[in-house]
Amino acid sequence: MSQPSSVEEKLDHLQHHFIDSDQQFEASKLGMWIFLVTEILFFGGLFAAYIVYRAWYPELYLLASEELDVFWGTVNTFVLIGSSLTVAMAIRSAQLNQIRGLIINLWITIGLALTFMVIKYFEYVEKFEKGILPGAHYSYEGIAHEKANIFFSIYYMMTGLHGIHVLIGIGLMIWLVFKAKKKVFHSGYYTPVEITGLYWHLVDVIWIFLFPLLYLID
Amino acid sequence: MSGHHISSAKFLWGVAISLFFLTFLTVAVTWIHIPEPWNVVVAITIAAIKATIVAAFFMNLWWDSKFNVMLFLMSILFFLLLVGITLLDTLYRVDPVPSF
């Protein structure tokens, strides 16, 4: 008589072209790291633009960053770091077979990500009402610098692209919640949680640089 | 296996608290108005420390395969090449692009 199936290792997830779960997990993670490298270089182009223009117009950055609210920038930094913690907790729950904890941590992360986007929304609206719009649509008179629109073009491109990444992350985590509710994940297979976690932490790392570079210029 | 490190909840909270503290620190140093260019140096240094903490202990690079660490470091190296070579041009122009 064979043992009951609960004792056997669950291998539904294992694709036929991998030797075992570990090899499949490591291959997925390597693929994700290669994607993250392209993400770093993707944002890197915008950081390069930021640096070039800051070297050309240092006084513009000092003036224009006063329009950004340090308080809300700081709150959003705390919110994103908190969400990185809950993602790490979600992965830990999956590793320990605590599927309820996994789902709870994913929901908290989604909540924090939405909080970040709501704060960003109010920051954008406040600027739009003043006429601080990107590029040629810029019509705000409050900054005594002829290139003021350039700072805000860079600001909107960097925070906008980052915001799109946050929205994609929210979508991915909702997908993870559905998968977790279908009992797809367990301690032997949680690759999508791990991979999404890596993505989410990178989004956090990019904000860690955006915050001082945009908000904290004296 | 290198890919299945399980951090304790206490450890993860410790990492988050150190990140919260460094966030507070990077805001606090702007109150004392460090002169140019050191304010930028301090801000970037604190951000780099925070990014390293996230990469090492939240993204688990500390326990991960060295190849993934190399990928991450190479992306930073190539980013610095992009910035460095670009600045060799833009910093030494007599007249920056007039219409920009």
> Closest Cα of chain A to B50: distance in Å?
7
pLDDT digits (tens, 9 = 90+) for A120-173: 999 999 999 999 998 888 888 888 888 888 999 999 999 999 999 999 999 999
pLDDT at A8 over 60: no
pLDDT at B21 over 50: yes
* pLDDT-derived band at B59, boundaries 50, 70, 90: very high
Domain segments of chain A: what residues?
Answer: 23-214
Sign of CA dihedral B36, A47, B89, B77: positive
Tokens representing A159 are: 């925070």
Smallest CA–CA separation between A117 and chain B, in Å?
Answer: 19
Say whether residue A158 is in contact with chain B using an 8 A CB cutoff: no
User: 3-class SS at A186?
Assistant: strand
Residue B13's CB is within 10 A of a number of other CB atoms, namely: 14
pLDDT (average), residues B41-61: 96
Range name among A14-23, A44-53, B61-70 with the lowest pLDDT average: A14-23
Contact in structure between A89 and A200 (CB atoms under 8 Å): no
Chain A CA closest to residue B90 = A52
- In angstroms, what CA-CA distances link A33 with A150, A152, A170, B21, B61? 33, 31, 20, 28, 10
Partners of residue B17 in chain A, C-beta under 8 Å: none
Q: Is the pLDDT of residue B43 over 70?
A: yes
Q: What are phi and psi of A72, to 5 degrees?
A: -70, -30
Of A37, A45, A48, the CB nearest to B71: A37
How much is the average pLDDT of B69-73? 96
Which of A48, A96, A197 shows the shortest C-beta gap to B82? A48
Using a CB-CB distance cutoff of 8 angstroms, which residues of chain B are in contact with residue A194? 3
Number of other CB atoms surrounding residue A2 within 10 Å: 6
A positions 16-45 inside 8 Å of B (CB): 22, 25-26, 29-30, 33-34, 36-37, 40-41, 44-45
- The answer to whether B50 touches A208, Cβ cutoff 8 Å, is yes
Dist CA A168 CA A163 (whole Å): 9
pLDDT exceeds 90 at position B4:
no
Using CA atoms, how far apart are residues A71 and A208, in angstroms rounded to an integer? 15
Contact (CB<8Å) A25/B55 = no
Superfamily of domain A23-214: Cytochrome c oxidase, subunit III, four-helix bundle (1.20.120.80)
pLDDT 10s digits, A72-127: 999 999 999 999 999 999 999 999 999 999 999 999 999 999 999 999 999 999 99
pLDDT at A7: 44
User: What's the gap between Cα B12 and its chain centre?
Assistant: 19
Is the pLDDT assigned to residue A179 strictly greater than 50? Answer: yes
Candidate from B16, B72, B96 with C-beta closest to A85: B16
Give the three-class secondary structure for B34: coil
CB contact burial A63-101 (16+ within 10 A = b; e otherwise): bbbebbbeeebbebbbbbbbbbbbbbbbbbbbbeebbeb
Interface confidence, given as ipTM, is 0.92
pLDDT digits (tens, 9 = 90+) for A205-215: 999 999 999 99
Looking at residue B93, its pLDDT comes to 85
Lowest mean pLDDT among A19-23, A46-50, A199-203: A19-23
Taking each continuous run of H as one helix and of E as one strand, the counts in chain A are 6, 0
Sorted by where each begins, the domain ranges of chain B are: 2-90
Residue closest to A156 by CA, chosen among A70, A62, A64, A218:
A64
Helix (H) or strand (E) holding B14: helix B9-31
Burial class (CB in 10 A: 0-12, 13-18, 19+), A198: buried
pLDDT at residue A2, as a whole number: 46
Q: What does the alpha-carbon distance between residue A88 and residue A91 come to, in Å, rounded to a whole number?
A: 5
Which residues of A fall within a CB distance of 8 Å from B47?
A: 208-209, 211-213
Facing residue for B82 by CB, picked from A22, A44, A216: A44
